[in-house]
Amino acid sequence: MKAKRIGKGPLRGYLLEEVLAWLLRSSGFEVLTANDDKDKEPWKVLKEDKNGLLVRGRGAWHQVDALGQFRYVPPFSLPVRLSACSSRRSI
């Protein structure tokens, strides 16, 4: 069986996503995945798609590269989440 090769573009994108996740972890955030959302439809806010993680936003689902939730929730507040999206453009 011949192994599949990944192209330079997708490999760069994957590495950039991993760097973003590492930066979130090192800044005090826990990286979230679709498995972390235990709610059922219609209250579900995270889901996995063929292109990656989707987050429910205002009126639509948005693709994010990394999603982090701050480890400590401030009193009288909702959990603090930070989404990171990246894109590469050639010059």
DSSP 78: P
CA distance linking residue 51 with residue 63, whole number of Å: 8
pLDDT at 67 over 80: yes
H/E run at residue 29: strand 29-31
What tens digit of pLDDT does each residue of 41-52 get? 788 889 998 888
Tell me what pLDDT residue 41 has: 79
pTM over 0.85: no
What gap in Å lies between CA 66 and CA 83, rounded to an integer? 6
Helices (H), 1-91: 8-26
What is the percent of the chain with per-residue pLDDT over 90, rounded to a whole number? 34
Average pLDDT, the chain: 87
Q: Which residues lie across from 84 on neighbouring strands?
A: 66
Is residue 61 over pLDDT 70?
yes
